[in-house]
Amino acid sequence: MRAWLKTPSRTAISLFKIALFLLCLIPLTSMAWRFYTDSLGANPIEAITHGTGDWALRLLLASLTITPLRQVAGLPWLMRLRRMLGLYAFFYALLHFTTYLWLDQFFDWAGIAHDILKRPFITVGFAAFVLLVPLAATSFNAAIRALGGRKWQALHRSVYAIGILSVVHYWWLVKRDITQPAIYAFVLIVLLGARAWQREKERRRQLRATPLRRVIPINLQVK
């Protein structure tokens, strides 16, 4: 692999970040432009609900891709892009939720509460969103320092649950053709599977590396 890709300079990483920032804005700009030019089709509000939901889920899965990709490709610096993807996922989820609250329900709080309690697809979508909030709120360096790495990591493990809830949300809302949610489910399974596999590999490696240290003290005790 080319050296600049393997260990990019600080400037190169900054450029990557700027490029990613702009890239993640494209769906929003495109939706805004099509809204403005009245080319979102016959039902623009539905198109916005779907567009923001789709991108929230895609960016969430993209953020979950960073860790396995970094390991497989041997590109540790990719880690520096993860926060932006996660925050953008939250950003699109927030737009999605706002679209629902405002353009779909017109802040009819009774109707919204009923939906959240009684319609399973909304219940899980809402749960995913609520779980995303603390993650977004702790996605800056001071929060990580304040929490401490371990606690922060434990908190952010809920992203796996969020991924599952989001895919279930999609699965339960489609009327009949489950192709799309099945594709997302497959990707999610691969991403979570990669982690499980990595952890299992790590456990075995440790087992193999440490049999003596583990056994000896016990033997000594017995003696």
Q: Which residues bind another protein (CB under 8 A)?
A: 41-43, 45-46, 106, 111, 114-115, 119-121, 172-173, 175-177
Asked if 178 contacts 157 with a C-beta cutoff of 8 angstroms, the reply is no
Q: How far apart are CA 166 and CA 129, in angstroms?
A: 9
State the nearest-atom distance from the C-beta of 142 to another protein, in Å. Answer: 42
Whole-number Cα distances in Å, 31 to 3, 21, 58, 113, 180: 38, 17, 16, 28, 20
Asked if 185 contacts 171 with a C-beta cutoff of 8 angstroms, the reply is yes
Q: State the binding partner of 119 from another protein, ligand HEM, none, CB within 5 to 8 A by kind.
A: another protein
Q: State the binding partner of 149 from ligand HEM, another protein, none, CB within 5 to 8 A by kind.
A: none
If the CB atoms of residues 75 and 131 are measured against ligand HEM, the closer one turns out to be: 131
- Structure tokens given for 110: 């009774």
Best CA proximity match to 93, nearest among 188, 169, 192: 169
- Structure tokens given for 53: 């939901």
State the nearest-atom distance from the C-beta of 162 to another protein, in Å. Answer: 21
State the nearest-atom distance from the C-beta of 221 to ligand HEM, in Å. Answer: 52
If the CB atoms of residues 102 and 186 are measured against another protein, the closer one turns out to be: 102
If the CB atoms of residues 150 and 176 are measured against another protein, the closer one turns out to be: 176
State the nearest-atom distance from the C-beta of 20 to ligand HEM, in Å. Answer: 18
Asked if 8 contacts 77 with a C-beta cutoff of 8 angstroms, the reply is yes
Residues 50-53: contacts with CB under 8 Å, at least 24 apart: 51/27, 52/92, 52/93, 52/95, 52/96, 52/99, 53/92, 53/96, 53/170
Residues that bind ligand HEM (CB under 6 A): 49-50, 53-54, 56-57, 60, 93, 96-97, 100, 122, 125-126, 128-129, 166, 169-170, 173
Q: State the binding partner of 45 from ligand HEM, another protein, none, CB within 5 to 8 A by kind.
A: another protein
If the CB atoms of residues 88 and 97 are measured against ligand HEM, the closer one turns out to be: 97
